[in-house]
Amino acid sequence: MAIIRFGTDGWRGLIARDFTFDNVALCAQGVASYLHKEGRAGDGLVVGYDTRFASREFAGLVAEVMAGNGIVTFLSDRAAPTPVVSYNILHHKAAGAAIITASHNPALWNGFKYKPDYAGSASPEVTARLEQEIERAETDGVSSMPLHKAGDEGLVQIIDPTPPYLEQIARLVDIEAISGAGLSIVVDAMHGAGAGYLRSILPQSRDRSMVFEINGERNPAFPGMERPEPIAANLASLSHTVVEKGADVGIAFDGDADRVGIIDEKGTFITTLEAFALLALYLLEIKEDKGALVKSLTSTSMVYRLGEIYDVPVFETAVGFKYICPIMLRENALMGGEESGGYGFRGHIPERDGILSGLLLLEYMAKTGKRPSELMEHLFEVVGPHHYQRRDISFPPEDRESLQSKLESGDLNEVAGMPVVSADSIDGRRFKFSSNVWLLVRFSGTEPLLRIYAEAESPKKVGQLLDGAEAFLGL
């Protein structure tokens, strides 16, 4: 039996080895027991799933376990993005949601996310409770009821999660302004759950289709990409299509569409840190909203500069929306974001939403009449030049301990002539060289990867920092 532990966002495992029907049933029983002990079992649970192999069947099993525990399930009738499923928690006034998804992980993985009643990532306190209940379920067993019987008894209600979400989006985004701008948009759905959403939200213009989608068909193998993650390495097709069609922008979603990737009109990838700063600048400068900004420590120092310019507080957390979400709720924050390309916004759910993020960028373009490269020029005029890159390095499992030891005991004094000003171990090992220059090394919370991050005022310095970290670790 696999040891089930919730990482940065949920529990994930290799299908058939760790992520099995037996283990998913244990997860579901743990959630059911937790809801009963919290006195929330009567409020029901939303259950959703993505386009991965057997995700629908795993979700059905979760519904069966909930029914066996007397908990009503609002079971999605189709694969749906994580933010869509999460919003349905609020719509149905449910106790939470269980979502079968491995987000951006490779095709052989699947996962189990739990979202509490506030429709955001579960806090470490909640996931610790869930892990305890899952361990008890291994001893006490799992209660379940066949899906057809649960349906007959009203314990499983099949729902279309999309309409409530689209109504919410219409309240948050000026769809009319976007459609009136005559933008040409290419969307890369990465064969994931976000396929079709922008086309359904944005009306077609009189003379041409406003949205052209690639990789919109379900394919659990995610061909042509190591993983369905909207980063530069995976977006060559999107970049080529944007240039070929003379489009204004390219927008990509990860497997469950809670992350976004942006390609400008020239086919150039806008980094996730730049996208965070762009969206924050739009809210602060054009929409003239005020409120705290919340960032993970791997995200951009440009947010600090925007906080200074627009006189709003900035809060920094460890990596993961399970840390960002509580601060967003506590501070009624304007925006929260992380390096992965996940951004959340006030007035919605305290959770990453790639679809809303993409629409807000389109709204920014529509309101200003500027294309993405022009928006980037304006951003750097405001905050100064910032460049960023992340390297993901696979390693044999047996090397993890030695790498961990180097991170914990070793230290860097300088890289490429740049002296280290300070260092911390909030999440991994971070080295600061100046207010805008930093280097971070940490283990992924969801995959067997070592991630190295760097931000500086030039691409050359970023490369030097990344090379220095690899040399430091002997990689």
Q: What is the pLDDT of residue 40?
A: 97
35 with 118, same domain: the answer is: yes
Q: What is the pLDDT of residue 81?
A: 98
231 with 354, same domain: the answer is: yes
In a domain, 168, yes or no: no
227 with 126, same domain: the answer is: no
Domain final residue, candidates 161, 190, 213: 161
Q: What is the pLDDT of residue 88?
A: 98
In the chain, which stretches have pLDDT less than 50? none
In a domain, 267, yes or no: yes
- C-alpha separations of 448 from 3, 318, 451 in Å: 16, 19, 10
In a domain, 153, yes or no: yes
Query: Could you tell me the residue range of the domain that residue 293 belongs to?
Result: 173-383
280 with 209, same domain: the answer is: yes
Q: What is the pLDDT of residue 1?
A: 60
**E strand segments, 120-210:** 156-159, 185-188
Q: How many CB atoms lie within 10 A of CB 347?
A: 10
Which ranges of 183-320 does DSSP label H, i.e. alpha helix? 197-201, 236-245, 272-281, 302-310
Q: Determine if the pTM surpasses 0.85.
A: yes
CATH of the domain at 253: 3.40.120.10
403 with 361, same domain: the answer is: no
Q: What is the pLDDT of residue 194?
A: 98
Q: What is the pLDDT of residue 189?
A: 98
Burial of 237 from C-beta contacts in 10 A (0-12 / 13-18 / 19+):
middle
Q: Is 15:109 a contact under the CB 8 Å cutoff?
A: yes
CATH of the domain at 443: 3.30.310.50
Q: What is the pLDDT of residue 2?
A: 66
Q: What is the pLDDT of residue 413?
A: 85
320 with 194, same domain: the answer is: yes
- CA angle in degrees (0–180, nearest 5) for 271-275-366: 130
367 with 399, same domain: the answer is: no
209 with 329, same domain: the answer is: yes
In a domain, 447, yes or no: yes
In a domain, 56, yes or no: yes
244 with 150, same domain: the answer is: no
In the numeric block, the tokens 């361990």 are attached to 135
The domain tally of the chain equals 3
Q: What is the pLDDT of residue 410?
A: 63
Beta carbons within 8 Å of 155's beta carbon, 6+ residues apart: 66, 67, 70, 71, 72, 73, 145
